[in-house]
Amino acid sequence: MSRLLVLLDQTDIRFPGLGIVLKKVGSGFTVFGFRIAFYGVVIGSAMVMGYLLADQVAKRTGQNRDLYLDFTIIAVILSVAGARLYYVIFNWKQFADRPLSVFNLRTGGLAIYGGVIVGVLTAIVFSKVKKVNQGQFLDTAVLGLLTGQIIGRWGNFFNREVFGTYSSGKLRMLLDVRAVSGWFDPGKPVAAVTNEFGDRTAAIERVMEIREHTEVIDGATYISVHPTFLYESLWNLGLLILLLILTKHKKFDGEIILLYLLGYGLGRFWIEGLRTDQLFLFGTSIPVSQLLSGILVAGSLVLFIWMYRKNRKKAEA
């Protein structure tokens, strides 16, 4: 049995403030020697659950459900490509010497914002080509997208990535330093950190603060950080519940997607400020996803107000 199924990279993950210790959490498993990452399993499950929710909303609202299956197949492929492209563009240093590694998704490197942008654009084009109510289609599709985001973030948990700065709070997460990037290992030279981040002093200070607050438990060294993957998953869950309620009371088609962009942008702006693995705008110390979140919040808010007033005047007339 051990040859058939083997868990990989097992380490303990601790939430001491909650009294939770997860023993021997693996990053994946092998079946007959073939490696399967839990990240991929989680992302695949997220896509399926996202489609199922959108399908149920389409059924309840009397839409053509077949359209959402066709759209999901197309959107999944393009969104993965968009997530990879976003990551590569703002992290080209990692691929400059090995450009063909851009196509090797097994090494990781997907940025959810790239997937969101491409997914929304795909929905706009798809609904226009199919000549359906574009606002209603976007309102339904985005609920599936949000469901996928809630589940998909747990792939980061299994990869021990997308965590935040040092934390001593109630929700802090302890990760074995051997399971995360070498930047956080207090035994590694400081030069490795400074070479990676260059003149981005704020990023260097965050990494060094984590290194300075390691804890040794049962002979293993742990870093203590914000579980930002958990924050985003819970934020998105709350947003999904709110949007599902508002779906039954919306004033105009397109309202739900605008509220999604507003709500997701707000949460991501806050969470991105805690991250230690940010992608930066070219030649600057500006986190590109945090900047994009701010633009998203402002743009969706203005558009929502304009659409709301437009439809209210139309109703009064």
228 pLDDT exceeds 90?
Answer: yes
180 with 301, same domain?
no
pLDDT for the residue 5: 66
| Residue bearing the bigger pLDDT, 215 or 1 | 215
Q: Please, what is the average pLDDT of the chain? A: 90
Report which residue type is found at 180. Answer: V
- Percentage of residues in the chain having pLDDT higher than 70: 97
For 48-87, how does the pLDDT look when each residue is reduced to its tens digit (9 = 90+)? Answer: 999 999 999 999 999 999 999 999 999 999 999 998 888 8
Single pTM value for the model: 0.90
Which residue, among 166, 146, 317, has the nearest Cα to 247 in the 3D structure? 146
For 142, the token pair is: 């985005």
Residues 181-207 have a mean pLDDT of 85
Which residue, among 266, 271, 263, has the nearest Cα to 240 in the 3D structure? 263
**Domain count along the chain:** 2
Give CA–CA dist 158/24, Å, rounded: 11
Output the CA–CA distances (angstroms, integers) from residue 23 to 181, 211, 295, in the order listed: 20, 23, 41
203 with 176, same domain?
yes
Residues 194-219 have a mean pLDDT of 88
| Residue bearing the bigger pLDDT, 143 or 280 | 143
56 with 67, same domain?
yes
220 with 235, same domain?
no
The residue out of 225, 250, 270 marking a domain boundary is 225
Sequential DSSP letters for 188-215:
S-HHHHHHHHTT-HHHHHHHHHHHHT-E
158 pLDDT exceeds 80?
Answer: yes
pLDDT for the residue 21: 97
| Residue bearing the bigger pLDDT, 100 or 139 | 139
246 pLDDT exceeds 80?
Answer: yes
Write out the E strands in the chain.
5-8, 11-15, 20-25, 28-31, 34-37, 173-176, 215-217, 220-225
24 pLDDT exceeds 70?
Answer: yes
125 with 47, same domain?
yes
The answer to whether the beta carbons of residues 158 and 181 sit under 8 Å apart is no
53 with 195, same domain?
no
Q: In which domain, by residue range, is 102 found?
A: 36-158+227-316
The residue out of 207, 225, 243 marking a domain boundary is 225
The residue out of 177, 205, 225 marking a domain boundary is 225
pLDDT for the residue 66: 95
Give CA–CA dist 205/23, Å, rounded: 31
The answer to whether the beta carbons of residues 87 and 109 sit under 8 Å apart is yes
255 with 218, same domain?
no
187 pLDDT exceeds 90?
Answer: no
Q: Describe the strand order of the beta sheet including 20-25 as a list of residue ranges.
A: 20-25, 11-15, 173-176, 220-225, 215-217
